[in-house]
Structures are given as C-alpha cells and as structure tokens.
Structure 1
Amino acid sequence: MSADIPIRRLWPEPSELPLDDAALTALYGRADRPRLRVNFVASLDGAVTLEGYSAGLSGTPDKRVFGLLRMLCDALVVAAGTLRHEGYRAVRLNERRRAWRREQGLAEYPTLVVVSHSLDLDPAQAAFADAPVRPIVLTHPGAEPPPGLTDVADVLRFGDDRLDLTAGLAELHRRGLAQLLCEGGPHLFGALTAADLVDELCLTVAPLLAGPGSGRITAGDAAPPRQLALQHVLAAGDGALLTRYARG
C-alpha cells in the first residue's frame, strides 16, 4: 500500500480489501473521448473550505486520489483566484507517476491551464516561473496581461467582454489536451456548469461539520440543474467518502 489509511469500495461491488494505487487508477481511469472532470472536497454540511482553505478538509485518502487525478489528466484547469489564494506551486509529479504517464504515451507532466478574467496574475509565482510545461492562460480579448506574463505562459483569448469557456476548452482539445481536470474554484465550477461543460464530478465528503460561514463548492449565476449518474462510492479509513459522478 502507498498510504497508511486504507480506501475500500462500498459501491458497486463492495470490497473488503483496501484498494492499491493500481486499483484506484483503474476506477478513475482515462476516457476515450474529451472529458472535463471536476474535483472538490466538502464538509458534511456543505462547506468548501475550513478556516478559508480547502486543505483543512482534505485528509490523506483525499490527497492520495487528488494526486492520482493529476496523474491521469492532460491538463489541470484552475481559476486565477484559486491559484492565488491557495498558493499553487508548479504542477509536478513524482517519478513513479511520471513513469506511468510515459508508459501510457503521455507527456511527463500535465499542462497547467489558468482561467482569468482580469489577468491579475504574478509571472513570478512558482506555478508559472517553475513550471515544467509552459502553462496556458484562458482570458477574453479585453484583458491586459501584466509585464512578463507572456514570457512564462501562452495567453489565449476567447469571447468578447467575457471569456467564452466553450471556445477555450475546444482549443485545449485541439492542442491534444483532451482529459481536463478542474480543481476550482466555486465560481469557475459554476460557470462550467452553466455552459454545460462538466462531464464528471469527483467529490470527497469530509467527516466533519464546518459550521456556518463558508461557501459551497459552486457559485455564480443561476444555471439549469444537470443530472449526473453515480459511478462509485469509496470509504476511507478516516471516515471520508470519495464519490464519483458522471454524465449518463
């Protein structure tokens, strides 16, 4: 086992034995078509953060799946606000996960994709300055990049006075980035839902009550409800539930 806290499958086909990384990789897998997967952790009472940060909700099993999902994706999509607030570093993987990617014919590292309306980004942040693969920034034509941003990232513009997410994701697919993993934040999740771009949600339910004050995993303008089907439920030894829902 690669982790001290076991993860077992509750549904479908409950398993008594803990799942190793190979079994988890098979459960989450890669799709045979373009896919946008969203990954979040929330408390039992629906909070997206604890004391302002998502890390307070995430235990060892959630972090384990978090790392596997990064290994499986072609590109990691994140909102600029989340990038700044959570202090994202360069997206890197350990040698074992890089070797798995090489065996699958994938680039050693996923590409970081930052979604930003204002381009309020710091080119010196490690997510850009130390990136093993040149990041991509999705924005709209009216946004002006800060000095140095285009030296460390490709800035792509879609839409008019606001970013056209559908066109932006289509360009990522054109570049060969078909398996997309979004780590938030809530406003980006809400916008992707409104545009009907979300194919899958991986949600970890942390075994605690955060109390009032924190927002939900989604935010923004109202959007029609989208139906997803349950794919699996995993139980971690720390009491967390790891769920996966997908279209159809």
Structure 2
Amino acid sequence: MNLFDQFAPATLLNVPLTPLAMLFPWLLLPTPQLKWVHNRLQAFQNWLFMLFSKQLLLPLNTPAHKWAFLFASLLTLLLTTNLLGLLPYTFTPTTQLSINLGLAIPLWLTTVLAGFRNQLTHSIAHFLPEGTPTPLIPALILIETISLLIRPLALGVRLTANLTAGHLLIHLVSSAIPVIFLLSPTASVITFMILTLLVTLEIMVATIQAYVFVLLLSLYLQENT
C-alpha cells in the first residue's frame, strides 16, 4: 500500500463520501432545547462558544460582530472534523488541500470585498504605504498585491500541511511497533509510549489549527472593517 493512500478521498460505489464526512460531526452536537436548565454538555458548548466569540471579536469593530455566527460555525466544523479524523477507520476531509482552499478563498475574498465596500480608500492605501519613494512605488505595489493574494493559499496550506504531517508521523510510528516487537519487546513498549504522546500532540495540533484558521480570518476582517 502507498503511504499516502490514507489521504485518498473515501468513496462508496464511486460516490465521494467527503460531504458525508463533513456533515457527520454536526450530528454529534447537542441540539438546543427550550428548557430553563441545560444539561452539562449543552452548558459546556454554550460556554465555549461565548468564550470563543468574546476573545475573537473583542479587537474587532462593531460592524464585524455580525460575523460571530459564521466564525463559530466554521470553528465547530474544523474542530470536529479534525478531531474525528484521528479515530481509526475514519477520513479527515481537512487533509485535502482542495477542501481547505474551498473554505479559505471564498471567506478571504468576502473580507476583501467588504473592505472595498466599506472603506475603499483605506483598503487601496494598503497597497502603497505613505511616504514611499517614487522609484519604489511599482515594486511595493507588486509586493503588497502578492502578499494579499497569497493569504488564502497560506490559510489552506497551513491547515493541510500540519494535519498531513501529523497523520503521516502517527502512521509511520504505529507501523513500526509490530516490527520492533519481534526484535525487542521493550523497545516496542517505548515506541508505543511515543505513539501515545504523538496522538496527544496531534489532538492539540488539530484544535490549535482550527482556531488559528478562524483567528487569521478575523485578522483579515479587522483590516477591512
């Protein structure tokens, strides 16, 4: 088997299962109910969303607060998808660059268009800092344009590279344990402990990368509101 077969999109009767893999985590979330007192899971979920929204939207202007629901939904999607992808016999859609770019490009483009609509002069001024010498104007405009256009690519590649690297490392270490066990049981136990630490680290990476993805989008929005 190819080492990268685990990142191939899952199919059933030649029908891709990626949309199902992205929709399934939403079924695990508790549905809000009209009750005076929520259970522990719903209370924890509400507290987590309120804490996240408060920390993320605090530096943003008031017009940007309408993005709170979108950012919370995006964080939930990325977080649940990344974490469920660590379970055996599962598929992680966010290891696909096409999926991540499909999320990053429209959201980034929306922040840019919002800036052009709300503050056209300020948004255009980003391409040429004040006080730039005349001979450097073409070069700076080109650099700022490339810097702006590369942002969605950086968003997608960062999420893809971190998750792919972690999955590959876990796969390599777990494949080596049975081979090492035949040579040295003690070494295989040590390798298994390392694998446990790697899985713990990958859980942290999956959580942090989901937050970083949304945080960078909020920073792009902050520049355009």
TM over 0.5: no
Instruction: Compare the two structures and name the one with the higher helix fraction.
Output: 2
TM-score by length of 1: 0.24
TM-score by length of 2: 0.25
Instruction: Compare the two structures and name the one with the higher strand fraction.
Output: 1
Greater Rg over alpha carbons, structure: 2
